Structures are given as structure tokens and as C-alpha cells.
A and B are shown apart, each in its own frame.
Chain A
Amino acid sequence: MLSLIVFTPLLGGLFVLLMQRDNLPAIRRAAFVLSLLPLGLSLRLLAGFDAAEAGMQFVESAAWIPQFNIRYQVGIDGISLWLVLLTTFLTPLVIVAGWGDVHKRVKEYMFFMLALETGMLGAFVALDLFLFYVFWEVMLIPMYFLIGVWGGPRRIYAAIKFVLFTMTGSLLMLVAILYLASAHAQQSGQLSFDMLRLYDLSLPLAQQRWLFAAFALAFAIKVPMFPLHTWLPDAHVEAPTGGSVILAGILLKLGTYGFLRLAIPLFPVAAAQAVPLMMVLAVIGIIYGALVAMVQPDLKKLVAYSSVSHLGFVMLGLFAFNHQGVMGGIYQMLNHGLSTGALFLLVGVIYERRHTRLISEFGGLWQQLPVYAVCFLIVMLSSVGLPGLNGFVGEFLILLGAFNAHPALGALATSGVVLGAVYMLWMFQRVMFGPLSNPANQRLTDMSRLERAVLAPILVMIVVMGVYPQPFLRRMEPAVNAYLARIEKQVADHRASETLVAQSAGTLALHQPVR
């Protein structure tokens, strides 16, 4: 079932690639219909998912590279379930959005979108480190092409920067993965790349620190955390609308997911020690991202920097290491996927019409594009965290968790919420209100039926997740509880063994004079 979900997009993409080049409507329709298959399958997954179960479900396992004990192993728990659904939910929308605004090399565009979906889904469900790494790297290539071929004027620079940044982190992670597997071999006589089994590996703290650093670097680049975020604005600004939506909506989540699935649970003690650093970086990211977003003249850049800020919240929640924080962090991953995805789609709508994204070019759009303005308003408010919409639930939980863990940092992060409201509302005011003074804007048409159809499902989800978060949280909860319990136990074990070592060292010292 999971393998089917993971590989249908790729097969669909190959199918599209074989189609007649000139028949654009057929290509577009085929890509859309094919992208509905994984969505349908993942809805069946949701239906069959046991909400009370904390462990992995729908596990599939087969030997792959036996000499290294590498297995093709996939499965989902309450955390990856939602990320899989987010991916299969957003991809068809992006493909439909691409009907309107991609006009060159349509076939290849659709292929890369679908191939990208396979990479992302694979990374979310992989339970073997090697497999995870393969999917993690496989995502790079379609994104590289999406930015480089269909992007803006500086697309080549942005595409290469994206690839080099990501590869630097991930290759160091590869060395850490190899080290981890051979550490397992030394302790138990057999190499293992099985994530769940490696969770139980206990390593000396010094080693844990290095390994955590390597994993954390790879994921922090992807998130992106301050100060490793510099590739993100470039990639976002140059990417085509669909690329930006996928990048912000899903790809960045792989960074936070990596922390949640690998960096923290594999090296809990080192991660616990890194909490102050990570929380401070997260808060810096929140505030810095918001401040920089505030002064952006370009709408897309503003949304890009807002991502840096929002993902700072997610990281803050994850590193609060408590129930509310982690739950909030995961919930916010989904929210950000929806809200920021929608924001990029909306920016794309006016870019299509005006071929500019400068805020100063607009003003008073509400009069001319009322439907557009209302959609924008809802999404903007969701992004700001208005109660009743999805963003509020996530931010609230995160801040609760952060206050419990570290009140001062929690307070600082709260100021980020305020700043978020400032730059978003100010932007909205400058774009939507006031007189419709720019003559170029006076003949703009409102959103087309296609554009409305793309946005509607996201708006529905924004409201549903804001009003009734229970079904989502309920399915995450067992997995999160198990995750936290495991970390707490390992950290406590480590403390106990440390005191034991200290005590025995003391005893030795006592005995020495006797000898």
C-alpha cells in the first residue's frame, strides 16, 4: 500500500513523459488525474489508520542490499501519516495551478512535479536510513530542474545554490549514517540501517555529539534555520509558482521531519544538550525572519522570509521537548504547508496578470478583485495565527510548550507572533486597500474558475483545521507520546550512568591509598 502510494506518482510521471508533446490539454489532464491516485490511496490509508497505535503501521519490508543489511523498509506512524497526506493533497493542486501558468515544456514540468512527489513521499515513509537518504537526495534533482528550467531570471544561480547547500549537509549526514551503522556493527555484530533498531543504540556522548551535529546540519539547512537560510529566498523568488508551493509546503517540512524522526531520537542526549542552542537559533529565526520580511518590497520574498520565521516556530516547538511543543510543532508543519502554499499560489495569481510582484505596484486591489482579496485575507489571517483558523492552534501549542521549557525564550518568540501580524497586515493593507491608483491594475480580472478551484480545498482545510483540530491531533498523539517517552528515558538513563561513573570514580579514588 505505502509503496504503491510512493511510486504511483513516478510511474504517472513516466507515463506523461511518453505522451505526445503537442497535446497540452491531454498532458495536463493526465498529470492531474494521475496525481489524484496517490491522494485517493492515502485517504484509504487514513481510513485504515489505527489512531490508538503508537508504532509504525502499514510496514513493508524486503531485503535490498544484503551485504550491508540494507532493507527496503517503509511504514508510517501518526506523525508521518499527516505529512504523507499533506504531500498527496498539495501536489494535485499544484499541478492544476500549473495548467494556467506553465506554458513551456509542459510535459517535462509535469514529470518533474510527479517525480518530486515520489521523492518526498519516500522520505516521509522510509524506515531505513539508507532508503531515507536515497529518497532525500532523489528530491534534489526534480527541484533543481523545476527552478532551473521554469524559474525567473536568476534561476540558474538559485538552482545551483539550492543543490550545493542541500548536498553539503546531506553528504555529511551520509558519513554520519555510515558511522552509525558501523557503530551498530561493533556493538551487536551486524550492520544495521534500520531506524527503529538504531534508536536503541547507546553511544558515548562524544560520538553522539558529532553525529547529531552532522544530522542536524543536514536538516537545519533544509528547514532552513538561521543562519543557514540564505538559499531559501533565492530559490523561492526564482522558482515558478508551483515550485515555490512545493518547496515551502512540503520540502522544508522534510528538514523538521528529519529532526523529529532522526536527529533527535537517534541521539537524544546530545540533542537534549543542544536544546538551548537550537531554541535560541529558532527564536532568532522567528524574529529575524519577521523583521526581514517586513522590509521586503517583493511579495514573494516577503512570503519566503515569513517561512524562515514560521519554521522557527516549528523548531522551537520540537526542541521544547514537551508534549505541547512537539504536538504544536507537527501541527504547525501542516499549517505552514497549507497557508504558505496558498500564499505562494495567491502571489502567483497576480504575478500571472501583472508580471511583477512589487508591493509598490499594487494598492486598492480589493475593489477590482474582491474574491481574490477575500481568499488572500483568509490565508493571511491563517498565517498570522487568528483564532478559529489553523495557524492559531499550532502557534498556541508551540508557545505553551516553549513557555514550559524556557519562559524567557517563549516570551521572545511571542513577540515574533506580533511581528508576524505586523508585516502581514501591513502588506495586505498596501496591496488591497487604498485607491486603485495604478492604471495597470484597473483592468485586472478576478480569479478564474481554475484558480478558485485550486485554492478552495486549501481554504476549507484552513478552516477545518482551525475549528476542529481534534481528529488531527488525536492521531498524532500516541506517536508523539512514545517519542517523548523514549527520549526522556534515554536522557534519564544517561544521567543515571553518569552519576554511576562519578560514584565509581569516587570509590576508586578512595581505594587508591590502600593499594
Chain B
Amino acid sequence: MIAAVPIPWLVLLPALLLTGTALLVMVADLWMEGPDRDGLGWLGIAGLVVALIASVTLWNQHEGGFGGTLVLDRYALFFNLVFCLAAGLTLLMSMNYLEFTDIRVGDYYSLIVFATLGMVLMAAAADLIVIFLGLEVMSIAVYVLAGIWRQQQRSTEAALKYFLLGAFATGFLLFGIALLYGATGTTALAGISAQVLKVGGEQRLLLLAGMALLLIGFGFKVAAVPFHVWTPDVYEGAPTSITALMAVGVKAAAFAAFVRVFVQALGALTAEWAPVLWVLAVLTMTAGNVIALLQQNIKRMLAYSSIAHAGYLVLGLIAARDGGGGAVLFYLVVYALMNLGAFAVVIALGQRGAANEQLDDYAGVGFRHPFLGFAMSVFMLSLAGLPPLAGFAGKFYLFAAAVKAGYIGLAVIGVLNSVVSMYYYAGVLVKMYMVEGGAAVAEVTTRPYLVATVILTVIGTLLLGVFPSFTHELARQAFLSLG
């Protein structure tokens, strides 16, 4: 006689909506033959919007399900917003992108929704095993997406690299989970949190080793130095829309789990992990920014810059309890907007057969395509952290938390890194407005979905820069719901 397990429908709602959407898109693909597949994209977007609305309406709920392995708290819901936003904008820009790259695989759209499902599971997981499951759902979908441009050798190469190193990272993560289980006898975050201080002797060694392995696993996923080496090749090789999703969505999901595990489960060990993360943050910011200086390809430049941004986020994670947690969540929203916008501009300036990804291709773009040039300037300056753009507000909250927590040195290293980053972000502006020539990008046809993506992200970047408090307040509440 098996007792009927009550199914926590409410907790599952966002995930179920996404699963339904993904399956629906997959099935619809069978009926939508022919060159025009925009309908699939719209279907995906509709599903994401519904999931987003559901997440908004559930804001005041706080429930657990499946024996507390999955939770529905503001933290998870806030991340759902980030993921739906990122995936939705990715779908929007993809509809034009697929047109001129000849990626004609219908599964493309459903895979993006599946990846989003994985992200949502990661953010809602209250158990290491569920985090692992979410990570795999997300990663496998993204491995495929990275290699989906089969005509391009570098896309295949990116997929292989990403898959191999991703599997490697997963191994670390799984091993870490095993050690933590060995030390504490549980994989539930709450259980671990209750046990960590009681563990002593050899068990404690096991615990610390498990923590270190988890750190490596997450380090890989958020592309922190020295676990970042896969990033530039994969980012450059993958289809640009997927690069955007990886840089924004995958990174946000990894941070969602990272913060939950280290703050909620291992918060009592802050004294142990904070110094390690301190070094990691400094390395990540500095190496990312310095190597980005040398890049001639804009996708690689954005890849290294995204490494640097992971460093800023780790800085916020260290100061999580002093306002850094809310700052990390806020920054992920801001980062999603400005980075997706930047990638959308990169796509918009490309054309069939010529991706125009070299920085030299950007010469004169500012005056030839005033709107795209303006948008790119907004994104670059926001990424560099200049007011009154969203990137500044984000960095302000991060650095404020670091200062409040007493990490003045780290904050100073962070701001000096911003100066370095200004050099290469401003370099894009130099190319666009101060260098003549650049016939390569002369003929760009207007593509409505790309333009829409760019407009949305520009508005978001400006709005969150001038009026950051509402979103930041949501982020703060979300973090506080971790308890």
C-alpha cells in the first residue's frame, strides 16, 4: 500500500508551465514546416510570459514541496523573472538570427525553453540533488544549443568543449555533494545548515573538502578564474543568441544555486569560504578585464568581460549578509538587460555570410546606424558602470555591500577594475564614432525583432539606472526570503 504523495501543484507551477511550453513548441514544430518558423518563437515567448505572470502572482507565497526538496520562495520567484526575461529576449532576437544563419532546427526554440526549465529548478532547489538535476536539465539543453549551427565548424567545436568541461565540472559538483552527504548525512540545504556546526574531527575535513569541490563546480559554471578557460572559445563559437543566453541565463542560474548553497546551507562556515572567494573574486575581476583588453573579436571581448562581471558578483556574494545578496540579484537583472542588448546589437550588425564580429568591423557604425550605435554605447557604458545607467546602480549596490561588510580592499580592487574595463568598453565607442571607414557593416537590413529586443533592453538599462529602487527592493526581499 503506497500512500498517495500529495503533489504540491503551486510549487511546481512555474516549472510545469515551462515544461508544457517546451513540449508544445516541440509538437508544434511538426506542424510548422517551411521556412517561416517565427510562430515557434512566439509560442515559446507566450509560454515564458505566462510563467513570468505566474511567478509575479505567486510573489507572496512561501511553500515547500516534495519533502522540502523544492521550494517556492521569493528568491526562486525573483530568479524566475530573470530567467524568463533572459530566455524571452533570447527567443525574440533568435527569430531574426535564425533567418540568416540557416539554423533550421525546429528544436532550437524548445531547447531554449527546456534550458529555462532547468534554471528554474536550480533556483527553486532546496536540496543538493535537485540542484544537480536542474543543472543537468539546463546544461544538456545548452550543450546541444551551442552546437546547433552545424554548418559552422567553430559551433561544433564549442559544443564539444562545453560538453567535456561541463561534464567535468558536474563531476566535481557531484563529488562535492557526496562528501557533504558523508559529513552531514543529508543533502537537504536546511539539514546541512543545521549540521555544519556540529560536525567535528575527520567529518569536518570531509565537509570542507566537499565545500571546496562544490566551489570548483560552481566556479566552472559561473566562469570564475581559474575555471574560466572554456568560456571564450565556447562563447565565440556558439550561435550569438545562445552566447547571450549562456552569458546571462546560465550564469544567473549558477549564481542562484551558488548563493543558496553557500549562504543558506554553508553560511555558518563563512569564515572558511570568504577568504577563498575573496581571492577568487580578485582573480576573476582582474584576469577577465585584463585579457578582455586584448581581444579583437567582440564576442570574445564580451566573453572575457562576462568573466569580470562574475568577479563583481562573487564580491557581492562574499558580502551577502550585508546587503550583497540583494545586490547580486539586482545586478543579475541589470546584467541580463545590458548583455542581452549588447549581443542583440552584435547580431543586428551581422549579415548572411559575414558575422562582422571583429572590432574593426565597427568602424563608423555610430554614424551609419545611429540607433544601433547609440544602443551599443548605452550597453558599453552601462557595463563599464557609468551613471546614470543600470550598470552603475548595480555596481553601486555591490560595492556598497562590500564596504559595509568591511571589505574595503576588495571594493577598491573592484573599482580599479572598472577603470580597466572602461578602456575596452570605450574602445568600442572609439571604433563606432571616432574611426572612419568600415564598409563591412554598410548594408544592414532592419530586422524588426532585433530592433524590438534592442529597444526593450535600452529602455530597461536606462530605467533601472535612474530608478533602481523598486527592483532593488524586490531583489532585497527575495534574498531575505532565504532566511
Query: In chain B, residues 119-178, which have Cβ atoms closer than 8 Å to a Cβ of chain A?
Result: none
Q: Mark B329-356, 1 if CB is under 8 A from A, else 0.
A: 0000000000000000000000000000
Are B386 and A141 neighbours in the complex by a CB distance under 8 Å?
yes
Q: Which residues of B contact A371 (CB under 8 A)?
A: none
Q: Chain B residue with minimal CB distance to A180?
A: B403
Q: Chain B residue with minimal CB distance to A135?
A: B387
Q: Which residues of B contact A140 (CB under 8 A)?
A: 386
A448 at the interface (CB under 8 A from B): no
Q: Chain B residue with minimal CB distance to A155?
A: B434
Are A168 and B426 neighbours in the complex by a CB distance under 8 Å?
no
Query: In chain A, residues 169-195, which have Cβ atoms closer than 8 Å to a Cβ of chain B?
Result: 171-172, 174-175, 178-179, 181-182, 185
Min CB–CB distance B371 → chain A (angstroms): 12
Q: Which residues of A contact B399 (CB under 8 A)?
A: 174-175, 178
A359 at the interface (CB under 8 A from B): no
Q: Mark B427-447, 1 if CB is under 8 A from A, else 0.
A: 101100111000000000000
Are A148 and B430 neighbours in the complex by a CB distance under 8 Å?
yes
Cβ-defined partner of B388 (8 Å) among A138, A155, A168:
A138
Are B416 and A67 neighbours in the complex by a CB distance under 8 Å?
no
B476 at the interface (CB under 8 A from A): yes
Are A144 and B426 neighbours in the complex by a CB distance under 8 Å?
yes
Are A171 and B473 neighbours in the complex by a CB distance under 8 Å?
no
**Known A-B contacts A148-B433, A167-B419; A182 and B404 likewise in contact (beta carbons under 8 Å):** yes
B415 at the interface (CB under 8 A from A): yes
Give Cα distance in the complex from A145 to B429, angstroms. 9
Q: Chain B residue with minimal CB distance to A210?
A: B408
A residues contacting the other copy or chain, number (CB 8 A): 34
B472 at the interface (CB under 8 A from A): yes
**Known A-B contacts A105-B367, A133-B387, A138-B387; A160 and B412 likewise in contact (beta carbons under 8 Å):** no
B400 at the interface (CB under 8 A from A): yes
Q: Which of B408, B426, B468 has the most CB of A within 10 A?
A: B426
Cβ-defined partner of B418 (8 Å) among A145, A148, A167, A182:
A167
**Known A-B contacts A68-B400, A171-B419, A174-B399; A156 and B430 likewise in contact (beta carbons under 8 Å):** yes
**Known A-B contacts A148-B433, A149-B433, A178-B411; A171 and B403 likewise in contact (beta carbons under 8 Å):** no
A485 at the interface (CB under 8 A from B): no
Q: Chain B residue with minimal CB distance to A168?
A: B419
Q: Which residues of B contact A47 (CB under 8 A)?
A: none
Min CB–CB distance B441 → chain A (angstroms): 18
Query: In chain B, residues 417-469, which have Cβ atoms closer than 8 Å to a Cβ of chain A?
Result: 418-419, 422-423, 426-427, 429-430, 433-435, 468-469
Cβ-defined partner of A67 (8 Å) among B367, B387, B404, B472:
B472
Q: Which residues of A contact B86 (CB under 8 A)?
A: none
Min CB–CB distance A395 → chain B (angstroms): 36
A496 at the interface (CB under 8 A from B): no
Min CB–CB distance A213 → chain B (angstroms): 12
**Known A-B contacts A160-B423, A167-B422, A172-B412; A145 and B388 likewise in contact (beta carbons under 8 Å):** no
Query: In chain A, residues 97-149, which have Cβ atoms closer than 8 Å to a Cβ of chain B?
Result: 105, 130, 133-134, 137-138, 140-141, 144-145, 148-149
Are B381 and A67 neighbours in the complex by a CB distance under 8 Å?
no
Are A156 and B468 neighbours in the complex by a CB distance under 8 Å?
no
Min CB–CB distance B419 → chain A (angstroms): 5
Q: Which of B427, B430, B434 has the most CB of A within 10 A?
A: B434
Are B434 and A141 neighbours in the complex by a CB distance under 8 Å?
no
Cβ-defined partner of A175 (8 Å) among B411, B433, B469:
B411
Q: Which residues of A contact B392 (CB under 8 A)?
A: 134, 137
DSSP class of B's interface residues: helix, strand, loop or mixed? helix
Are B415 and A163 neighbours in the complex by a CB distance under 8 Å?
no
Min CB–CB distance A175 → chain B (angstroms): 5
Are B419 and A164 neighbours in the complex by a CB distance under 8 Å?
yes
A159 at the interface (CB under 8 A from B): yes
Q: Which residues of B contact A138 (CB under 8 A)?
A: 386-388
Cβ-defined partner of B434 (8 Å) among A64, A156, A167:
A156
DSSP class of A's interface residues: helix, strand, loop or mixed? helix
A439 at the interface (CB under 8 A from B): no
Q: Which of B411, B412, B419, B473 has the most CB of A within 10 A?
A: B419
Min CB–CB distance B170 → chain A (angstroms): 38
**Known A-B contacts A66-B469, A145-B433, A148-B434; A175 and B422 likewise in contact (beta carbons under 8 Å):** no
Min CB–CB distance A210 → chain B (angstroms): 9
Give Cα distance in the complex from A134 to B387, angstroms. 5
Q: Chain A residue with minimal CB distance to B374?
A: A17
Give Cα distance in the complex from A185 to B472, angstroms. 20
Are A160 and B403 neighbours in the complex by a CB distance under 8 Å?
no
Are B422 and A164 neighbours in the complex by a CB distance under 8 Å?
yes
Min CB–CB distance A73 → chain B (angstroms): 16
Query: In chain B, residues 370-384, which have Cβ atoms closer than 8 Å to a Cβ of chain A?
Result: 381
Give Cα distance in the complex from A105 to B367, angstroms. 9
Are B381 and A141 neighbours in the complex by a CB distance under 8 Å?
yes
**Known A-B contacts A137-B392, A171-B419; A178 and B430 likewise in contact (beta carbons under 8 Å):** no
A508 at the interface (CB under 8 A from B): no
Q: Which residues of B contact A68 (CB under 8 A)?
A: 400
Query: In chain B, residues 386-410, which have Cβ atoms closer than 8 Å to a Cβ of chain A?
Result: 386-388, 392, 396, 399-400, 403-404, 408
Q: Which residues of A contact B381 (CB under 8 A)?
A: 141
Q: Which of B367, B408, B427, B429 has the most CB of A within 10 A?
A: B429
Give Cα distance in the complex from A66 to B467, angstroms. 11
Are B430 and A160 neighbours in the complex by a CB distance under 8 Å?
yes
Cβ-defined partner of B415 (8 Å) among A155, A156, A172, A182:
A172
Give Cα distance in the complex from A403 to B408, angstroms. 40
Q: Which residues of B contact A66 (CB under 8 A)?
A: 469
A65 at the interface (CB under 8 A from B): yes
Min CB–CB distance A384 → chain B (angstroms): 37
Give Cα distance in the complex from A181 to B399, angstroms. 12
Give Cα distance in the complex from A68 to B473, angstroms. 11
Give Cα distance in the complex from A160 to B422, angstroms. 9
Min CB–CB distance B435 → chain A (angstroms): 8
| Chain A residues in the interface with B (C-beta under 8 A) | 64-68, 105, 130, 133-134, 137-138, 140-141, 144-145, 148-149, 155-156, 159-160, 163-164, 167-168, 171-172, 174-175, 178-179, 181-182, 185
The 28 sampled A-B contact pairs (Cβ below 8 Å) are: A64-B469, A65-B472, A67-B472, A67-B476, A134-B388, A137-B387, A138-B388, A140-B386, A141-B381, A144-B426, A148-B433, A149-B434, A155-B434, A156-B435, A167-B418, A167-B419, A172-B412, A172-B416, A174-B399, A174-B415, A175-B403, A175-B411, A175-B415, A178-B399, A179-B403, A179-B408, A182-B400, A182-B404
Known: A133-B387, A141-B386, A172-B412. 8 other contacts (CB 8 A): A64-B469, A66-B469, A134-B388, A137-B387, A148-B429, A155-B434, A163-B422, A171-B418
| Chain B residues in the interface with A (C-beta under 8 A) | 367, 381, 386-388, 392, 396, 399-400, 403-404, 408, 411-412, 415-416, 418-419, 422-423, 426-427, 429-430, 433-435, 468-469, 472-473, 476
Q: Which 3 A-B pairs have the closest CB atoms?
A: A171-B415, A134-B387, A178-B403
